[in-house]
Amino acid sequence: MKLKTRDTLFAYSLFLPSLIIIVGTIGYPFAYAIWLSLLEKPVGFEATFVGLKNFQELINDAFFINSVKVTTIYMVGVLAGKFLLGLGIALYLNLKFRFRGVLRAILMIPWALPWVTTALLWFWMYNYQVGLLNQILNAIFGVKVVWLGPELALLSLILIDIWKGTPFWAIVTLAGLQTIPQELYEAASIDGAGSWQKFRHITLPGISGVLSILFCLSFVWAYMIFTPVYIITNGGPAFRTQSVLHRIYTELISRHSFTYSSAMAVIMMPLFLTAITILVILFRRRRGIS
């Protein structure tokens, strides 16, 4: 009993530094955001409590609604792309052939690059005059594409995230594929199952665990996208690529409206918290943390 108390005390003291940092860097700003979102503070005036006024304004704010729409399209595009391409590459890397290890190592390079480098190198790829994409298109088809113009800019950003995020997705999916016992496929073959049936009834259920984790993680990451937007398009042209976080940042920097900017963060929370709660449940089931 005495030993147990001592252990508990020791455990708490080990956890204390982390707890202080977590409360100080996440807990406090989170609570502060909720408090700020209920205030109004015009520049040069005292802050006043206004209740839910900021939120009422938010749901009628065309700029904010636009940023939510843009980010939702972005999220759907990125998740669909990473899922399809990641699954394809994982199935391919699961085949047995030479240089598979080398290919896997090369595939990891975009994942290992910093976001700023990724953003800049695609900014350069998309360059209208000199960019490699237009040079190739021009050489083969004699056309040039305005990658960062109003029609294509959002798609161009989505393609960057797919380029950077698919390696992680593919490698994790591959790890999921490798946990499926080979005997299942053999037994299915004996029973006369075709490749589609095997894929549908053995492969997909076998990787559904890792896939749901990947979807939740990528969901949160896609909704908080900022660096490539800020570096490449700065939200433009005409707000067509303005993500939620870019909107929050713009509101903060250009108008110094801390209260309104906080309200935007708070209104997004239910979405994030739902995704994170699902993730925590999925992870715990997987790792077996009681």
Residues between 221 and 240 with contacts to other proteins, criterion CB under 8 A: 221, 223-224, 226-227, 230-231, 234
Which residues within the stretch 42-61 sit at the binding site for other proteins (CB under 8 A)? none
Q: Is 147 in the site for other proteins (CB under 8 A)?
A: no
Q: Is 108 in the site for other proteins (CB under 8 A)?
A: yes
Among 38, 61, 168, 207, binds other proteins (CB under 8 A): 168
- Packed helices 62-93 and 153-177: angle between N→C axes, nearest 10 degrees: 40
Q: Nearest approach, Cβ of 83 to other proteins (angstroms)?
A: 14
Who's near 47: CB < 8 A, 6+ residues apart?
A: 39, 40, 41, 259
Binding segment for other proteins (CB under 8 A), chosen from 49-57, 131-139, 141-149, 197-205, is: 131-139
Q: Nearest approach, Cβ of 114 to other proteins (angstroms)?
A: 4
Place of tokens 């073959």: 189
Q: Is 171 in the site for other proteins (CB under 8 A)?
A: yes
Binding segment for other proteins (CB under 8 A), chosen from 54-62, 182-190, 195-203, 281-289, is: 281-289
Binding segment for other proteins (CB under 8 A), chosen from 53-61, 62-70, 144-152, 254-262, is: 254-262
Q: Is 12 in the site for other proteins (CB under 8 A)?
A: yes
Report the C-alpha gap between 254 and 264 in whole angstroms: 15
Q: Is 155 in the site for other proteins (CB under 8 A)?
A: no
Which residue type is seen at 274? T
94-102 contacts: CB < 8 A, separation 24 or more? 94/174, 94/177, 94/178
Give the three-class secondary structure for 256.
Answer: coil
Among 54, 71, 156, 262, binds other proteins (CB under 8 A): 262
Which residues within the stretch 200-219 sit at the binding site for other proteins (CB under 8 A)? 210, 213, 216-218
List b or e across 256-274, with b for residues whose CB sees 16 or more CB atoms inside 10 angstroms: ebbbbbbbbbbbbeeeeee
Cα angle 274, 275, 281 (rounded to 5 degrees) comes to 90
Place of tokens 């800049």: 120
